[in-house]
Every structure is written in C-alpha cells, then in structure tokens.
Amino acid sequence: MMNITLWIIQGLTALGFIYSGWLKAFQYEKAKASWGWIKDLPKGLVLFIGLAELLGAIGVVLPEALDIAPILTPVAAAALAVVVLLGAVLHVSRKEYRELVVNLVFILLALFVAIGRF
C-alpha cells in the first residue's frame, strides 16, 4: 500500500514540477505574465530554476521506475524540496504570503517521496 501511495505522490510531484519548470524554461513570457516575482529575477536564473525543476521531475520518477540508480529518486525529491524552500524564502521576502501555500504543498510532497524512498 505504501508503495502505491509513493507512486501516486511521485506522479503528482512530477506533474507539478513539469508544469512549473516548463513555463519557466520554455514559456518565459507566459510565466512572467502569470507570476509577478519573475519580473524581478534575471531571466537566466528563472530559466535555470525551470530546467532544475524539469530535471527534478524526471528524477523523481524515472530512476525508480526503471530500477536504474533508484537512489536518485529520493535525491531528486530532496533537491526539489530545497528549490521550493528557496522559493518560499523569496516569497516571504516579497511579502507574497498567498504563494506559501503552494510552496508548502510541494515541499511536503517532495519530502514525502524523499523520506519514503530513502
């Protein structure tokens, strides 16, 4: 049962980061229009964050699914939790407290995968 739960959470986590990362990395203008904070960061940093999120989303699913270096799954999940935590710090510094709910959800999802798969 726990394995099924972990797979569901891994899938949800990956989908969330694929959406977010895709916007940041490949649809910068759309992301900039949707998220005000992007206007205040260098474009290169936003693209880097997007690519990191996309790689993390892949890492949360594929190593475990393919049974190739499955230790990378919890490592990717922990790294995504750090990315989201840093995003939360940015939102607090900008007094964007509404955004913290989304950050908290994705930190919890990523940590659940990291702890469950370690």
Domain locations in the chain?
2-117
Residue-wise pLDDT for 89-109, tens only, equals: 999 999 999 889 999 999 999
Q: What is the pLDDT of residue 53?
A: 97
Q: Give the per-residue pLDDT at 22.
A: 97
| Residue 89 identity | V
Average pLDDT for residues 5-28, to the nearest whole number?
Answer: 96
Assess whether pLDDT exceeds 90 at residue 4: yes
Mean pLDDT of the chain: 95
pTM, entire model = 0.92
Q: For residue 63, what are the contacts with CB-CB under 8 A and spacing of at least 6?
A: 69, 70, 71, 72, 73, 76
For residues 2-11, average pLDDT: 95
6 neighbors 113 (Cβ within 8 angstroms): yes
Mean pLDDT (whole number) for 46-74:
97
d(CA 97, CA 39): 18
Provide the pLDDT for residue 36: 86
Q: What is the pLDDT of residue 3?
A: 92
pLDDT of residue 66: 96
Alpha carbons 17 and 13: distance in angstroms, whole number = 6
Query: Looking at the predicted structure, is the pLDDT value of residue 69 above 90?
Result: yes
